[in-house]
């Protein structure tokens, strides 16, 4: 089974056990890549089991992928943030970490902007150099922007939570629909992997460090503590549906097929 996920600490922490055969699971071949690269790959046959942004899923992947409840990223206080070199209104050229990332979708809450797509780990420096006026940060950027001298303008997750009264669903694990018969076992294995991670938090330390962009152990610890939570074990279906329905109202997503199940 090909399993694609990001190299971010929350994923490597949560999925260390399933990748290394420490829980009952189908044999796994891991493929680690940036979330936007995973979103693009999710539209290809190579994506058997993959992490995918909710935004990408809403953009037409529902016909080929079905969501699992385990392994996703969601919660309160987990949202992308908009930063700049100094206090200002969000505007000008705004860097985003991919057109299909949930961060890009959440930016629409503030309006329409001249966006510049770049890898998530290039955005802070692009803002500091003045290549763009503002940047939307995800992953470790939430913990590193201040020490780099950047200023928080808007927490997009807080805007979502206040408007929708819902946890923010960022991403989910999805299985190709032609492999849906494997989904219950994969979902159980992912739950077991998350449980193993919580029970043995030091077991994945080397694996997490080997793939982390930000090497500060404190940042890694805070990252895992924030993004690996109750929703990693069981994604909130109502929250996902809320985002997909909002995207359809915004004219971003196509109409839903009521005959096609969203989750296994």
Active site residues: 139
Q: Please give the Cα distance from 80 to 170 (Å, whole number).
A: 9
Q: Given the structure tokens 């908009």, which residue do they identify?
A: 82
**Residue 188 CB-density burial (10 A; 0-12 exposed, 13-18 middle, 19+ buried):** middle
What is the pairing mode between strands 2-5 and 49-53?
Answer: parallel
């Amino acid at each position: 089974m090909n399993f694609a996920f990001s190299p971010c600490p929350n994923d490597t922490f949560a999925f260390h056990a399933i990748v290394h055969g420490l829980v009952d699971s189908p044999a796994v071949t891991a493929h680690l890549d940036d979330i936007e690269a995973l979103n693009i790959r999710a539209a290809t046959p190579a994506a058997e089991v993959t992490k995918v942004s909710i935004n990408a899923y809403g953009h037409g992947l529902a016909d080929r992928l079905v969501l699992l409840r385990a392994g996703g990223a969601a919660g309160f206080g987990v949202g992308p943030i908009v930063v700049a070199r100094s206090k200002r209104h969000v505007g000008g050229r705004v860097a985003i970490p991919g057109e299909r990332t949930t961060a890009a979708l959440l930016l629409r809450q503030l309006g329409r902007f001249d966006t510049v797509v770049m890898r998530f780990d290039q955005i802070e420096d692009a803002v500091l150099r003045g290549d763009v006026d503002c940047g939307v940060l995800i992953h470790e950027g939430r913990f590193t922007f201040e020490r780099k001298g950047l200023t928080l303008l808007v927490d997009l997750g807080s805007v979502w939570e206040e408007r929708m009264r819902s946890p923010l669903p960022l991403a989910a694990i999805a299985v190709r629909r032609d492999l849906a018969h494997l989904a219950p076992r994969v979902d159980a294995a992912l739950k077991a992997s998350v449980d193993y991670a919580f029970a043995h938090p030091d077991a994945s330390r080397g694996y997490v460090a080997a793939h982390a962009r930000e090497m500060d152990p404190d940042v890694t610890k805070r990252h895992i503590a924030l993004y690996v939570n109750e929703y990693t074990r069981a994604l909130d279906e109502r929250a996902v549906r809320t985002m997909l329905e909002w995207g359809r109202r915004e004219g971003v997503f196509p109409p839903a097929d009521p005959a096609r199940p969203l989750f296994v």
